[in-house]
Structure 1
Amino acid sequence: MFATRFAPSPTGRLHKGHAFSALTAWRAARDAGGRFILRIEDIDPTRCRPEFEAGILEDLRWLGLDWETPVRRQSEHLTDYATVVDVLNRRGLLYRCFRTRKDILDAIGDAPHGAAEALRPGPHPADEEATLLAEGRPFAWRLSLDRAREVLGGRAWGALAFVEEGRGPGGERGLIRARPETAGDVVVARKDAGAAYHVAVTHDDDLQRVTHVIRGEDLFEATHIQVLLQALMGWPTPVYRHHRLLTGDDGRRFAKRDNSVTLAQLRAEGASPETLRAGLGF
C-alpha cells in the first residue's frame, strides 16, 4: 500500500514551507488511498523541545491534516538506531573519527583534490587511535565507502539507484544512479549523541513501510547515502518525490534559521487554514 510521511524536527515552529511539504505528502496519500504518517525526528536533544512538538501538532491540525497514530518519536527509540550502528560496526563498515568539524573544513581547503578527498579522512593510525581513546577524546563513527563497496561488490555498487518522481535541484528525474561517494564517509553516530540522521530516517522508513518519500529538493543529495544504507541493511528503497522549495518575497526560501513567519503568527494575524491552503495550491 502507498505510504508516505511528514517528518519534522521540533526545533522551531512550522512555516509556509513546512505547510507546503506536509500538504503535498498528505494529498498524495489521500489521492492514492494510502497511509499518511507523521514522525517526530527529535534525536538532537540540544535543539529539540517539547513545546515545538506541541506546536507542530497544533499547526497540522489547524491545516486540517490527519495521520496515523501513535506518532513515532525518534527520541523514544534510540536503542533501535544503536542496533543498526552496531550491525554496521560488526561488519567492519565503520571507523572511529576524532576529527572535529573544523578539522574537516580545514582539510577541505588544504586537500589537493578538493572536498571529496577531505570528506573521506579514513581511520586514524592504530597507535594514534589508542592514545586518543585513552585520553577520553570524543569521536564519531564514520561509514567507510571503501569498505561498503567491498561488502556490496562492484556489480551491486554500480547498481545503486533510486526512482525520482519529482525533481532534484538540477531537474533530475526518473531512474537515477546513486552516488554516495559525493557525501564522503558520512557520520552515522557520535559518541555523545547516538545515531545520526541518515541511520534514523532509513531505519524508520523501513519499519513504517514507507513506499514514497515526499520531501523538499534540499534533501535530494541526502538520498544518495540513504540508498547505500538501505542496500547495506537489506531494506527496500522507496520511490522518492522531491518537490520545489517555497520562497518569500525576497526570493529566499523559508527557513527556521531565518526566522520565517510561522503558521502560528499567521493564525494570530487572522489567517484561515482555507486561505493558506488555497495560497499554497491546495
Structure 2
Amino acid sequence: MIRQRTLKSVVTATGVGLHGGRKVTLTLRPAAPDTGIVFHRVDLDPPLTLPADPYAVCDTRMCSGLEQGGHKVGTVEHLMSALAGLGIDNLHVDVDAPEIPILDGSSAPFVFLLQSAGIEEQRAAKKFLRVKKAVEYVEGDKWVRLEPYDGFRLAFSIVFNHPAIDSTSTRVEVDFARDSYIRDVARARTFGFMQDVEFMQANGLALGGSLENAIVMDEYRVLNAEGLRYADEFVKHKVLDAIGDLYLCGHPLLASYSAHKAGHALNNQILRVLLEEKEAWELVSFDQEAATPPAVSHQFAPLVALA
C-alpha cells in the first residue's frame, strides 16, 4: 500500500517574510490521516484556520497565498513544494504572521526542517488525484496543460530576454519516475531584477528581499557572488513553484504538467479548470503493489515498516 505521511515530531523555525520584512515563526506539527495540509494564523485571536484549497488562493502576482475572512497566509508555495516533494499528506502549519518565511528563497530549508522532524507513514492509503482527460488554460502567449500520466512529470519553458537567463537552459523536464526532488529541484531559488526589487521596496513590497534569499540580477548579470546552484536554476525554480501551487489541490497529482511562461496565477487556474470538469479526474489509492504504477512506487517508496 502507498501510505499517507506526516511528521514524527514538532519542528520550529524563524525567518523573515519576503514581502513584509518582519520576523516570522513557523511551526510544523503532525496531523492525523486525511487531515490534509492546514495553515493556522496563531497571531490572531481566535487563531484562523486555512486549509490548502485552490479556491482560497489569492495574491498570485507575487506568490501563492491563502485568504479567508480578509486574513491571509502568503508565500506558501515553497513550503507546499517541499511537502509535495517529500510526500507529506497531513500537517498543521502554525505561523505568527501573514506569510511563510522566505528562508533562502528555495524549498531546501523546508526539506531540511521536515527531515529533521522525521517523516512517518500512517495507517491510511495515500489518495492521488489522477488526471483522466487533458485540460488546458491559455492566456495570451502563456499556457498551461495537464494530461493523463501514470506518474508526475513537469515540463516548463520560460522567456525573459535577459542575458543572464538566456545564457542558461530555459526549458526543463522533471519526471519523478527518474528524478529526485531533493537533488534536482529543491535548491532552486526565486529570482528577480534589481530595478524591480528597488521599485517594490519603495512601494512597501519585497521588504525582506535580499541576495540572501533570491537570485538578483542587474541589466546584464547575476549579482550573487556564489552564482547559480544549477545551470538551469531559473527554469528549475518555476518547476519548484508549480509543484507547490499544484499541491494546493490537496492531493499528489498523477499527471503530466506542461507550461510556457506560466506563473502562480495560471497554475491556480489550471487546477480550477480541472476540478470543475468532473469527468477529467478521479481520486485513486493503491492498496496492492501489483496495481501500483512503477513511477508511483519509485516516487513514494515505503519509508519504514509499520509496527
The alignment's TM-score, normalised by the length of structure 2, stands at 0.23
Max Rg structure: 1
The structure where helix makes up a greater share of residues is 1
The structure where strand makes up a greater share of residues is 2
